[in-house]
Chains A and B, each alone.
Chain A
């Protein structure tokens, strides 16, 4: 844990001076998120059990991974131009 904990002599208070925000419970954090998904999925009538939505979400997730790599290759200037062009395309004809 990158935090310094000390007792302030004047106020007698425990003070934690944060130097970063690393959690002590990274696994619990992930479990909380996935546990909530499981909670809804177990209820039966849930979008988490919708095959089509699951395929779309997984597909988009893979595309996102690819996009992030392309963004890195493009560099900031060209990335911004590509993003602007995609935004214009998304708004075209509306």
Chain B
């Protein structure tokens, strides 16, 4: 499968282009890195690819076809601040299972503890919440994963642990991965290729 963004352009309501003419392709089983200066629009591009925002110009396709508007979105995104990606009024069990029911093996490999699931988001650390968000995103219908500074808040041991679990799951399911990061060492370690930002 091929996730492709062609000639993508985006602006919010004031009409100042955040980026224009961005081309990006990720194949299944491929890990692509994306890097660029802060505030250049990497996160916005990720949001467009994952269907949170509609591009003003260009289109996002999978194998040449538009992505259906309803049902499980095949492109799932993981955010830098997981505390903002979960409902603060839901216990984490409900958040974890809102898309599918992750199996015990996956939860174990990600280091998710059973007792976290009966707690509220404000009772867990960012690293713990991120593990739950990853499990939530790895549903059976997920084909591509976008990791936007997914482990920037974590210590090196937790970062390596989480990435090994994600790479393992991605390899088993032949997912395509887009990794957004400032850490060139991390990108060099993870990615098949790194695409520099060409939005402007």
Are A and B subunits of one complex? no
